[in-house]
Amino acid sequence: MKIIEEKPVTIATARKLLRERKREAEEKGEILEPYQLKALEYVEEFSKIKDAEKAEELVDKLVKEAKLSREVAVQLINCLPEHEEELRPFLSQEDFLFAPDREKRVRKIMEILREARREG
């Protein structure tokens, strides 16, 4: 297997990619590798957002509107924390603690995460 691109993706995107890979394999009369099957089982069970495109839109929204890195935005969409206190472990990775617009950004993050949970 050749690596074409490397970037953080949501569980929903991984789910979509693994489902496509499974379909392609079945069309060829093949089966997925055991690690691919385990990964597919995991993403089927733990994907909080089922639509990969919607998950990517939400990641982009967090990056643009809340000024987060893609890595942190992906983690937030994968976990969908419900309370501001639950954001702390994620935001400690950012230069967020002393940002002058911190409160405004936290409100924006929570708004986007509420939207994500509604559309789940």
Closest alpha carbon to 109 in 100, 93, 88: 88
pLDDT of residue 94: 66
Residues 7-34 have a mean pLDDT of 95
Closest alpha carbon to 17 in 120, 68, 5: 5
Res. 78: pLDDT tops 90 = yes
Over residues 91-115, the pLDDT tens digits come to 886 677 778 888 999 999 999 999 9
Res. 1: pLDDT tops 90 = no
Residues 79-90 have a mean pLDDT of 93
Mean of the per-residue pLDDT values of the chain? 92
Residues 63, 70 contacting (CB under 8 angstroms): yes
